[in-house]
Amino acid sequence: MRKSFLMLLALLLPLTARADTAANYAWAFPLDTSKPAENYRVTLTTEILASLNPAAQQADMVVVNTLGRPVPFGLLQAREPQLRDYTQKARLLPVPPAADGQDGDIKRNADGSIVISPAGSDKTAHSKQWLLDAGRAVSLHSIALDPDSVQKDFQATFSIEVSDDLQQWREAGYSNYATLTRMGEADDRIEQLTINLSNAGFARYYRFTLEDGAVEWNAGQAPSVTLVGGYKDEAADRAAQWQWLEVQAKPGSANGDYDYELPAGLSLDAIKAQLPPGNGAARVHVLVSGGTQLNQIATLDLVRSENQGEATSIFTSRVAAKMVRLHTDTPLTQAPVVRVAWVPPQYIFMADGNAPYRLLVGSHAARRGDYPPFFDTGDYADAVPGARVAAAGETALQAPRDPNSWTRPVLWAVLAGGALLVIGMAWSLLRQSRREDEKERIE
């Protein structure tokens, strides 16, 4: 009998553990982990996001194994932006020496291009400093002078510095000195026109300063160069991950306001709008709401021609939204077609314990424990969420009732009863004392 009881208890323990964890969360999503792996990536769907407690900021979400025990689970950190090949032709910009021995005035245009003011310069002196604009922040492997642009033989040593703003300069790597040479004729020529850079980091501006030798590279004489290296484009990398979601206008949208309810609170990167058939042109103002307040974030000019008439606004930073409103002063026959771009959040969990694994989401109080950051190394398989099923249901999202709410009236009743009892006992003692006093007087 005792052995049978222990076996039954052993069978019930996993169910008890599962119930204890699941009881804290409203919903469960089964995870398909049919491909064996040590780590799995979970991409959140709009249904998962809509099931979370907005106040928890995605912390009310855990993955449990077949025993119902939570496994290590956290946000998947984005990979480093992809390094893209960069090759660009440019020209060295001489900085004319000023008559007082100081360098010329250097500024930047609104687009970042270099402007060198020659005012007050000594036109008889040769430049000893040159600037180079790569057009964007790049990590250069080499800077090569174009042989056809070098007009005279020379041998000189330059120091090389880099900057992001033309104000603060730093050395270009471990060795920021380079010697360039071009001497001799045709087959007997000695030539070294390439500067190899290492560990210079990313920078847009490069400065050459003549340290030894002599060159005559004033305006119109400075050689052109070829820049070779790499650059990062975070905006392009993120755009490659966009998922476009079409949303429908809410019934009753009219009078120039067209509301579109998103399936969940999303972080938007861009929005597209297209005029419905029968409308020629309209200017629409895009407003979004992440809660109760509407904020205008863009204005789109829509012109419809045949099947065209779509306009896109890409946001400079991600916009949290639950609802989008298009406002136009131009009467429309029906609501515009709207699509929004977003990047679904991705999480990773370790295969600790046995499958099947479940994603539990939505809780008023339960929160996921902290784990070290999971960096995207690509060493994982995808765990695909299935259809949502109830765990504890909506009650897990609701604040628990005050456990003392029913005991307080009882406590007050007990206290009142106790007070009445004490008063009664005191009154009884007082009456008894009076009777004894009267009896003593009679005797």
Please give the tally of structural domains in the chain: 3
Residue 288 tokens, joined? 């979004």
Contact 7, 336 (CB under 8 A): no
Last residue of a domain, one of 232, 254, 281: 232
Query: How many CB atoms are located within 10 Å of the residue 367 CB?
Result: 14
Tell me, yes or no, whether 61 and 120 share the same domain: no
Where is 16: in which H helix or E strand?
A: helix 2-22
DSSP state, 24? T
Burial of 36 (0-12, 13-18, 19+ CB in 10 A): exposed
CA-based nearest residue to 60, from 419, 355, 366, 304: 366
Q: pLDDT tens digits, residue range 332-358?
A: 888 889 999 999 999 999 999 999 999
For residue 1, being part of any structural domain is answered with: no
Q: pLDDT tens digits, residue range 102-112?
A: 555 788 898 99
Q: Identify the sign of the CA torsion 68, 70, 72, 74.
A: positive
Q: pLDDT tens digits, residue range 266-290?
A: 999 999 998 887 767 888 999 999 8
Last residue of a domain, one of 232, 251, 269: 232
For residue 322, being part of any structural domain is answered with: yes
Tell me, yes or no, whether 142 and 187 share the same domain: yes
Tell me, yes or no, whether 92 and 219 share the same domain: yes
Tell me, yes or no, whether 218 and 250 share the same domain: no
Q: How confident is the model at residue 60 (pLDDT cuts 50, 70, 90)?
A: very high
Last residue of a domain, one of 300, 325, 342: 342
Residue 354: CB partners within 8 Å, gap ≥ 6?
Answer: 65, 66, 67
Residue 34: CB partners within 8 Å, gap ≥ 6?
Answer: none
For residue 423, being part of any structural domain is answered with: no
Domain extent, residue 367, equals 25-79+345-397
Taking residues 410-432, what's their average pLDDT?
Answer: 71
Q: pLDDT tens digits, residue range 174-232?
A: 677 899 999 988 777 888 999 998 788 899 999 999 999 999 898 788 999 999 999 99
For residue 209, being part of any structural domain is answered with: yes
Contact 182, 150 (CB under 8 A): yes
Q: pLDDT tens digits, residue range 133-187?
A: 999 999 999 999 999 999 889 999 999 999 999 999 998 876 778 999 999 887 7
